[in-house]
């Protein structure tokens, strides 16, 4: 990709416009979070950190963060285990039917989440999973599976199947081959999938709106309610923290990928 | 075999070498027959090479021996016991894969230790065996490197050490030298042969390189279109090929076509156009009047000086020639036998080759061998 022609002014203009369009709405919350007013606005006279202090002193906000974190961790665990096993199984069998299984696994990503949420609402009602930690965790775990299936399948596509043959030829059982040969080779793919599944649960709102009400109150839900009820700039502070956290996760993902292909 | 000195750690209790037998082994993929009723036997401690062009089924046979391919029919026997249904991880065969298949996330020592780790061997015993195996292939200094930090030849030796470290019943080699350049290949051929002598195990090798097959093996099995065409010691195969395919695939050969005119107990006369050929016969004698095909190696043809006599003599003109260092490769056009390839030693060659030069070629009645025309698909 080196030695090409330099982009012309038009192409550069469009590119920069796109970048600004993408980044500006995200960056605007930074000054808003430092406003000196008591409502959502840009700073008037001075910059203030009192909304951050408010956030860290508020039990409601911290509780929501805490709950979101646990749900994200638990649902990531579900997504990683189920998604990795599914991807490895499809890869090992490699028949036409496994292509269908893989496509089926991507459904939660393809179907609008509001449709999914309506279905879950009916279904969870009969299972008594509404407004419970387990229910939200399961919903987030299942909808996180596609991310893991995609990243692990990609990692497996680059895996030399002769390594598996070699391991079995030397007497390794399926479990030993999985533990010592396959998993270490696809670990970066699993980590990528885990990061995406985590982010997915961390900022998921639509499902939570349907299947949770008072007991389970995640961070996105809290922000949503905050916007509906009062325009407290604490939300902007939360948003900034969310952005920082997500960027850190993506940087981690990038670092893992860089390690995979040296 | 037990009389041969072996490195301590590689010496197993009891007999190390095992005999392998294939009985009517076949593998079909849909309507395509990759391996067609192959039966053969490798004796204890022998080095067998399966040789054939690509698509001849040689790799499929090796994979069936290793257990990675389930045969459609037939059986694989180790020391007389049927192991056809045994999965690969329970066969205890060492295998060197094409491209080596070393684990990139492990060091050389970890790679070699893998089969021992799988067998839950204790740390101390494991380390001793790994050291012995790396010594065997002269790679002790590289134990802590990763495979990607090694040259092709070194990787190949790691693969060998890994395949041998658990004292396998059988060592299988899938084109072990094909990824190396020519000089390194020759070096490793010698090492592999020495290794085989030293550890006295049964080796089964797959290659499409006829030189490798001739120089390494005790026995060579030649395959074509999934069928076993001929098996024997390298010299026997080269000197007495049974079919045109074997003569052509193993080394170079001229093919002379003629009609049998006269048959005596040890000799027959053929007519090829205006040329009468004298040919020694062993075994089956063809009937007079039938067509016959002879295989004649280029190095068995001599240039005749002046009126020098030979069992067979034919005149021709040099059509093309090439200097190869050790010798000249000539193509001589003849009226009755078509173009003949002649290998002429360059040292004190009687002529300076040039195109159009008239020459007389001669060979003895024992130089050529009658071969069968290849049956369809064999």
Domain B247-371 has CATH 2.40.50.100: yes
Report how far residue A221's alpha carbon sits from residue A227's, in angstroms, rounded to the nearest whole number.
Answer: 10
Q: Is B105 on the interface with A (CB under 8 A)?
A: yes
Which residue of chain B is at minimal alpha-carbon distance from A186? B105
Q: How high is the ipTM of this complex?
A: 0.73
Which residue of chain A is at minimal alpha-carbon distance from B166? A170
Q: Is A22 on the interface with B (CB under 8 A)?
A: no
Shared domain check, A66 and A32: no
Q: Is B89 on the interface with A (CB under 8 A)?
A: yes
pLDDT of residue A239: 86
Residue A108 falls inside a structural domain: yes
Per-residue pLDDT tens digits for B238-277: 999 999 999 999 989 999 999 999 998 889 999 998 899 9
Query: Per-residue DSSP letters for B275-332?
Result: EEEEEE--SSPPPTTSEEEEEE-GGG-EEEPTT---SEEEEEEEEEEEE-SSEEEEEE
Residue A143 falls inside a structural domain: yes
Contact check, Cβ <8 Å, B68/A185: no
DSSP state of A7: P
Nearest to A171 among B99, B105, B119 (CB): B119
Please, where in chain B does CATH 2.40.50.100 lie? 247-371
Report how far residue B299's alpha carbon sits from residue B128's, in angstroms, rounded to the nearest whole number.
Answer: 51
- Indicate the Cα dihedral angle B86, B92, B98, B101, nearest 10°: 110
Shared domain check, A139 and A25: no
Nearest to A170 among B98, B99, B118 (CB): B118
Residue A110 falls inside a structural domain: yes
Report how far residue B43's alpha carbon sits from residue B11's, in angstroms, rounded to the nearest whole number.
Answer: 19
- The CATH number of residue A85's host domain is 1.10.3720.10
Shared domain check, A146 and A91: yes
Interface mutation vs chain B, best among A162, A165, A166, most B CBs within 10 Å: A166
> Is the pLDDT score of A217 beyond 70?
yes
Domain that holds residue A20: 7-48
Shortest CA gap B261–chain A (Å)? 57
Contact check, Cβ <8 Å, A180/B94: no
Residue A1 falls inside a structural domain: no
Size of interface A-B (CB pairs under 8 A): 60
Residue A185 falls inside a structural domain: yes
Shortest CA gap A166–chain B (Å)? 7
Which residue of chain B is at minimal alpha-carbon distance from A179? B118
Q: Is B101 on the interface with A (CB under 8 A)?
A: yes
Could you give the count of Cα atoms lying within 13 Å of A138 in the half-sphere of its Cβ? Answer: 16
Shared domain check, A189 and A256: yes
Shortest CA gap A79–chain B (Å)? 26
Which chain B residues are Cβ-neighbours of A184 within 8 angstroms?
105
Domain count, chain A: 2
Shortest CA gap B124–chain A (Å)? 20
Shared domain check, A138 and A13: no
Shared domain check, A189 and A165: yes
Shared domain check, A129 and A31: no
Which chain B residues are Cβ-neighbours of A163 within 8 angstroms?
101, 103
Q: Is B252 on the interface with A (CB under 8 A)?
A: no
Residue A87 falls inside a structural domain: yes
- The predicted model gives B165-190 an average pLDDT of 87
Q: Number of H helices and number of E strands within chain B?
A: 8, 20
pTM of this prediction? 0.77
Confidence band (pLDDT; 50, 70, 90) for A145? very high
Shared domain check, A123 and A87: yes
Question: Which of B 199-218 lie inside 8 A of A, CB atoms?
Answer: none
DSSP state of A59: H
Token pair, residue A55, equals 């956030």
Architecture of domain B8-244: 3-Layer(aba) Sandwich (3.40)
Shared domain check, A68 and A43: no
Report how far residue B167's alpha carbon sits from residue B139's, in angstroms, rounded to the nearest whole number.
Answer: 18
Residue A80 falls inside a structural domain: yes
Shared domain check, A87 and A188: yes
Contact check, Cβ <8 Å, B115/A162: no
Shortest CA gap A257–chain B (Å)? 15
Which chain A residues are Cβ-neighbours of B167 within 8 angstroms?
none
Most confident among A112-116, B35-39, B135-139 (mean pLDDT): B35-39
Shared domain check, A109 and A89: yes
Which residue of chain B is at minimal alpha-carbon distance from A170? B115
Which chain B residues are Cβ-neighbours of A165 within 8 angstroms?
68, 88, 97, 101
Query: Per-residue DSSP letters for B5-24?
Result: ---GGGPPSS-----EEEEE
Which chain B residues are Cβ-neighbours of A161 within 8 angstroms?
none
Per-residue pLDDT tens digits for B304-355: 988 888 899 999 999 999 999 999 999 999 999 999 999 999 988 888 899 9
- The predicted model gives B92-97 an average pLDDT of 91
> Is the pLDDT score of B375 beyond 70?
no
Shared domain check, A31 and A145: no
Burial classification of residue A9, based on how many CB atoms lie within 10 Å of its CB (0-12 exposed, 13-18 middle, 19 or more buried): exposed
- Residue pointed to by tokens 């039990």: A59
Contact check, Cβ <8 Å, B162/A172: no
Confidence band (pLDDT; 50, 70, 90) for A16? very high
Per-residue pLDDT tens digits for B16-29: 688 999 999 999 99
Token pair, residue B343, equals 């290998």
- E strands along chain A, which residues? none
pLDDT of residue B1: 37
Nearest to B89 among A160, A172, A180 (CB): A172
Q: Would you give the end-to-end CA distance of chain A in angstroms?
A: 18
Burial classification of residue A136, based on how many CB atoms lie within 10 Å of its CB (0-12 exposed, 13-18 middle, 19 or more buried): buried
């Amino acid at each position: 990709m080196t030695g090409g022609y330099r982009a012309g002014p038009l192409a550069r203009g469009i590119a920069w416009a796109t970048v600004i369009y993408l980044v500006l709405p995200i960056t605007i919350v930074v000054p808003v979070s430092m406003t000196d007013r008591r409502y959502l606005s840009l700073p008037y006279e001075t910059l203030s950190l009192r909304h951050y202090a408010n956030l860290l002193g508020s039990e409601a906000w911290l509780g929501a963060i805490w709950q979101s974190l646990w749900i994200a961790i638990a649902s990531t665990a579900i997504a990683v285990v189920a998604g990795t096993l599914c991807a490895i199984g499809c890869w090992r069998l490699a028949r036409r039917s496994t292509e269908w299984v893989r496509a089926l696994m991507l459904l939660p990503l393809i179907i609008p989440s509001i449709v999914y949420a309506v279905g879950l609402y009916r279904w969870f009602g009969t299972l008594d999973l509404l407004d419970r930690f387990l229910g939200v965790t399961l919903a987030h775990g299942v909808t996180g599976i596609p991310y893991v299936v995609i990243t692990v399948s990609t990692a497996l596509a680059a895996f030399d199947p002769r390594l598996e043959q070699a391991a079995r030829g030397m007497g390794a059982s399926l479990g030993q081959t999985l533990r010592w040969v396959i998993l270490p080779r696809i670990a970066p793919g699993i980590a990528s999938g885990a990061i995406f599944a985590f982010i997915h649960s961390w900022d998921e709102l639509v499902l939570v709106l349907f299947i949770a009400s008072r007991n389970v109150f995640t961070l996105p839900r809290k922000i949503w309610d905050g916007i509906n009820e009062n325009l407290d700039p604490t939300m902007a502070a939360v948003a900034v923290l969310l952005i920082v956290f997500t960027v850190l996760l993506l940087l981690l993902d990038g670092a893992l990928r860089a390690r995979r292909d040296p | 075999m037990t009389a041969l000195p072996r490195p301590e750690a590689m010496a197993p209790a009891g007999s190390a070498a095992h005999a392998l037998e294939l009985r009517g082994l076949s593998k079909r993929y849909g309507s395509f027959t990759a391996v067609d009723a192959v039966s053969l036997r490798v004796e204890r401690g022998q080095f067998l090479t399966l040789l054939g062009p690509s698509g001849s089924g040689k790799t499929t046979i090796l994979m069936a021996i290793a257990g990675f391919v389930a045969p459609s029919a037939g059986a694989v026997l180790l020391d007389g016991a049927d192991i056809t249904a045994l999965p690969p991880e329970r066969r205890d065969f060492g295998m060197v894969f094409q491209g080596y298949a070393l684990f990139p996330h492990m060091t050389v020592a970890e790679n070699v230790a893998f089969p021992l780790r799988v067998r839950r061997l204790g740390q101390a015993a494991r380390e001793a065996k790994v050291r012995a195996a790396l010594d065997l292939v002269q790679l002790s200094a590289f134990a802590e490197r990763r495979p990607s930090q090694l040259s092709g030849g070194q990787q190949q030796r790691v693969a060998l050490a890994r395949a041998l470290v658990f004292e396998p019943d059988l060592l299988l080699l899938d084109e072990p030298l094909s990824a190396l350049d020519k000089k390194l290949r020759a070096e490793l051929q010698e090492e592999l042969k020495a290794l085989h002598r030293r550890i006295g195990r049964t080796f089964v090798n797959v290659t499409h390189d006829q030189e490798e097959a001739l120089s390494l093996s005790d026995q060579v099995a030649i395959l074509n279109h999934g069928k076993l065409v001929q098996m024997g010691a390298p010299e026997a195969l080269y000197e007495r090929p049974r079919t045109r395919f074997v003569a052509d695939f193993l080394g170079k050969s001229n093919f002379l076509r003629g009609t049998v005119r006269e048959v005596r107990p040890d000799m027959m006369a053929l007519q090829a156009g205006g040329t009468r050929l004298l040919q020694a016969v062993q075994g089956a004698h063809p009937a007079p009047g039938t067509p016959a095909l002879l295989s004649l190696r280029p190095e068995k043809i001599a240039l005749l000086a002046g009126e020098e006599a030979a069992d067979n003599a034919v005149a021709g003109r040099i059509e093309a020639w090439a200097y190869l260092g050790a010798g000249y490769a000539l193509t001589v056009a003849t009226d009755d036998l078509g173009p003949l390839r002649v290998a002429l030693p360059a040292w004190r060659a009687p002529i300076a080759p040039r195109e159009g030069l008239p020459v007389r070629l001669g060979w003895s009645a024992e130089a050529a061998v009658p071969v069968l025309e290849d049956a369809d698909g064999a």
